[in-house]
Structure 1
Amino acid sequence: MPQGGPPPALTGTEQRAAEQIFGDRLPLATRYVAHLCSTGIEHGLLGPREIPRMWSRHVLNCAVLATELPSGATVADVGSGAGLPGIALAVARPDVIFQLIEPMERRVQWLDTVTRDLGLDNVTVIRARAEEVADEVMADVVTARAVSALKKLLPLTAPLMDDGGELLLLKGRSAAQEIDAAAKVLKKYRLRRPQAELLGEDLLDEPTTVVRIPRR
């Protein structure tokens, strides 16, 4: 079993970004990073090589999405895994309700343990596949990160979105190609043309790419 380690120290750029994103909840975010670097590694949620870049590549990369969430909104995070972006966002936005959807039992157990330890009363963990809860979950915003290509991801996420809601999907450099490949699926689910946006350009060394897709 891979062994975890202590969380990395924040660099100057990361410190400034973390302070702006998390504010007085930065100690809670630091505690979450400690979980990721220890039990998260031991449970196989992330590889040990990710420890040095846990802040930059994972937590801050996700948490920068916090400014895009409406106050009081309900957010469904599909394939939540290590709580990225769900827990990172829940720490940054205690005024938003999060539903973390994850089918794997050991991941669900880890998510439950971490959310309890962090005292995140704005988080509910749901053990299910996204398609199994399409009739139950109606979220204002649906998020996902590193789940699958957009063409395959839309059938999992779009049915969870309430009327007037939107998808905010964290993507990499292939976002434009994924958008082109998903044209037929977008039409099927009555979704508008996606917009690929960069978030955190003034905060992060590597901005976060988000694909924003409102319902028609």
Structure 2
Amino acid sequence: MSTQSDETPEREHTPELTPVERAAAEAIFGDRLPLAQRYVEHLCTTGIDHGLLGPREVPRMWSRHVLNCAVLGRELPAGGTVADVGSGAGLPGIALAIARADVEFTLIEPMERRVAWMDTVVKDLGLENVQLIRARAEEAADEVMADVVTARAVSALKKLIPMTVPLLDDEGELLLLKGRSAGEEIEAAAKAIKRFRLQPPEVLLVGEDLLEEPTTVVRCRRR
């Protein structure tokens, strides 16, 4: 019988980095790559056990999830503050916090079990640049004012903009991870963009030089 704790990830359950993924991971994480590997171990073991991700995601945990999120780190301001809305399994918040030790992150998540899991992971990785808040984004607006707000797989833009803009400081920007429908979402969010006085959104492809499939990001800046 194994004596390993349920909270301790097992390396043999995690996917190996392909040569392309390893090159990207080394470029993104640098000397903090071992922390990223430890995070992937958590995702592939306790993250699956807690229902944060499905077991079918394990083979593509690096490419589809961790690298897809962490590459956004190159767009963050040096020494800045980031609020990540609906962090779930720490994507993109924890992945970015590993990649950018100089940036302070506030991870906002309403579900208790997800917050508890992230708390365990953050402590295990020793991430001193991460704060967790258990709340809905709307409830955190009074205590959070960030340079950048991120979100991934939370909601369509027309609903996401009203949730995230109140967390920005006066010169802040939204960096929202999206898929191929980003253009359609921008069109559908025209009223919200105008209401919250945002500049016309930009669609960025981040990581084209590193990833087989670059990350699609919608950037919205205040006027």
TM-score normalised to structure 2 length: 0.94
Aligned residue-pair number? 213
Q: Tell me by how many angstroms 1:76 deviates.
A: 0.1
Q: Which residue of 2 aligns with 1:126?
A: 133
Please point out which of 203, 207, 213 is paired with 2:214: 207
Offset from partner CA, 1:46-86 (integer Å, 9 cap, x none): 00000000000000000000111111111000000000000
**4+ residue runs of structure 1 moved beyond 2 angstroms?**
none
Shift of 1:133: 1.1
| TM superposition shift of 1:29 | 0.2
- 1:128-152, CA deviations, whole angstroms, 9 ceiling, x for partnerless residues? 0000011111000000000010001
Separation of aligned partners in 2, 1:173 and 1:7 = 28
The equivalent of 1:11 in structure 2 is 18
Taking the aligned partners of 1:108 and 1:123, their CA distance within structure 2 comes to: 12
The one-letter code sitting in structure 2 at the alignment partner of 1:189 is F
- How far does the alpha carbon of each residue in 1:14-69 deviate from its partner, in whole angstroms, 9 at most, with x for none? 00000000000000000000000000000000000000000000000000001111
- 1:87-127 Cα offsets, whole Å, 9 max, x none, are 00000001000000000000000010000000000000000
2:169 paired residue among 129, 153, 162: 162
1:193 is matched with: 200
Residue 87 of structure 2: aligned partner: 80
Gaps of 5+ in 2: 1-9
Q: Counterparts of 1:148-187 in structure 2 under 5 Å?
A: 148-187=155-194
Separation in 2, partners of 1:69, 1:202: 18
Work out the CA distance in 2 between the residues paired with 1:164 and 1:152: 21
| 1:48 maps to 2:58 | no
Shift of 1:206: 0.5
Please, what is the CA RMSD of the aligned residues? 0.9
For residues 168-193 of structure 1, give each alpha carbon's deviation from its aligned partner in whole angstroms, at most 9, with x where no partner exists. 00000000000000000011111111
Distance in 1 between residues matched to 2:50 and 2:161, nearest whole Å: 28
Pairwise CA distance, 1:7: 1.0
Identical pairs, percent: 76
1:34 maps to a residue whose letter is: E
Match of residue 113 from structure 1:
120
- List gaps (5 residues or longer) in structure 1: none
* One-letter identity of the residue aligned with 1:73: G
CA distance in 1, matches of 2:55, 2:155: 22
Match of 2:71 among 56, 64, 70: 64
Aligned to 1:104: 111
- The residue number in structure 1 matching 2:31 is 24
Q: TM-score, normalised by structure 1?
A: 0.97
